[in-house]
Each structure stands twice: as C-alpha cells, then as structure tokens.
Chains A and B, each alone.
Chain A
Amino acid sequence: MEMVVWISILSSALSNLLKSTGQTEAGELLAEATAAYRAGKNVDPILRELAGRWQDEGEPKIETITDTRKKIQALYD
C-alpha cells in the first residue's frame, strides 16, 4: 500500500484516539490537516495570495511566471 495512504490511515487513527481521550481540538486539527494533504488543497492559500497580488499589482508578466518555473524545475533534479 502507498505510504501516503498509510500516513492517512495512521493520522486518522491517531485523530480518533485524541478525540476519545478528550483532546478534541487537537484531533480535529490533525484530521483536517490530513484531509487537506490528501485532497491536494495545500495550494489554496498560495492561489489566494497570487490572486491578491494580481489584484493589487496588476496582471503578472509572462517572463516572471517563466522565471519562477525555472527555479522550481531545479528542485526536481
């Protein structure tokens, strides 16, 4: 089974344990973090920030987007 799936299952089990021992808030936070990770929602705050910057500073330049991509590409080697 995929490690990511295992993490999800373990986090879910830990979340239930925390809730059962009265630590509801911590359990809920962990459950939320796990769900967000699995759903790929972690980019949402970044997209919000990009949208805000677009609104404040105007349309992004294609050159800037390309330069950012080149920096990201280096992380994949």
Chain B
Amino acid sequence: MKHLSKILIISACLAIAACSGTKLLYDQAKNPAQYAKAVLLHHNAVANEGAKLLSDPAVSAKTKEAIRSAYRSTVCDKSETGAVSTCTKGPAYVLDNAVRSYETVSSAKTEAELQTALESVVSLLTNLINAIRGGG
C-alpha cells in the first residue's frame, strides 16, 4: 500500500510537467525523502519562473494575482496573513520538517507523515503550474 502511494505521487509529479528535465530530476530519487527533495526543488524552480512573470509587463494583473495566490498557498499557512516573505509554516515547510524527521528517524510513522506532506505540496504545485500557464 505504501509502495502504491509512492507510485501515485511520482506519477502525479511527472504528469504536472512531462518533460525530460522533470524525469531526470525525479530519477535521482531512490527513497521517500529524496522524492520529497525532488518535489521541493521542482517547486523552487517553478516558483522562480513565476516570480519572473510578476515583473513582466505583458502579463495581465489577473494572471499575476493567480500566480501570487497559488504560490502563497504553497509556502504560507492560513494563519499567516502577512507578507509572503515572512511565511514559514506552509505546506512546503511542513514537507521540509517531514524530510528532517524521516532522515533522523526512519520509521513507518515518519514515512506516513512525509507522504501526507508530499501529497499536499504536489497538489499545490500543480495549481501553481496551472496559474503560470495562465489557466489558474
């Protein structure tokens, strides 16, 4: 069951951008913590491109707002209402902590926590990619 969940997550990761770079990056991962790191690297790469669009005058205010909102949901918790740069409790940070726990004490409990956090970030990363594509 655990294995199936992992496969579903990886499939989702690949489906959100079925490009050779994505495949190469995810191919490096050999355990749950490494898959999480691949997702987090992917998240940073997509977010960096999204930030470039925010300063592009050709992109509409509506699309910029969709990108901002989608990114915010990946790094900020609902309790964090200030500037995005101050957020430290959102899903990406929850996943960071789950990776640390798993790397410190690898157990069924830490793996389950890691997978829950991973599923959340993968879903939100898909939203961010859609916003950048102009469909968010």
Contacts and interface: CB of A to CB of B under 8 A. Distances in A.
B133 A39 contact: yes
A62 to B, nearest CB: 5
Interface stretch (B1-9, B20-28, B105-113): B20-28
Contacts of B134: 2, 4-5, 38
Nearest to A52: B24
B89 interface: no
Interface in A9-49: 38-49
A54 B34 CA distance: 11
A64 B64 CA distance: 27
A64 B126 CA distance: 23
Interface residues of B, number: 46
A76 B1 CA distance: 38
Interface of A: 2-5, 7, 38-52, 54-55, 59-60, 62, 65-66, 68-70, 72-77
B87 interface: yes
Contacts of B19: 41, 43-44, 47
A68 B51 CA distance: 13
Nearest to B36: A62
17 contacts: A4-B58, A4-B63, A38-B133, A38-B134, A43-B42, A43-B49, A44-B17, A44-B20, A46-B21, A46-B48, A46-B49, A47-B17, A48-B24, A55-B28, A65-B44, A72-B47, A77-B83
Contacts of B48: 46, 72, 75
B37 A62 contact: yes
A65 B43 CA distance: 10
A42 B17 CA distance: 10
Which A-B residue pairs are the 7 nearest by beta carbons? A47-B21, A3-B60, A51-B24, A75-B51, A4-B134, A48-B21, A44-B21
A4 B54 CA distance: 12
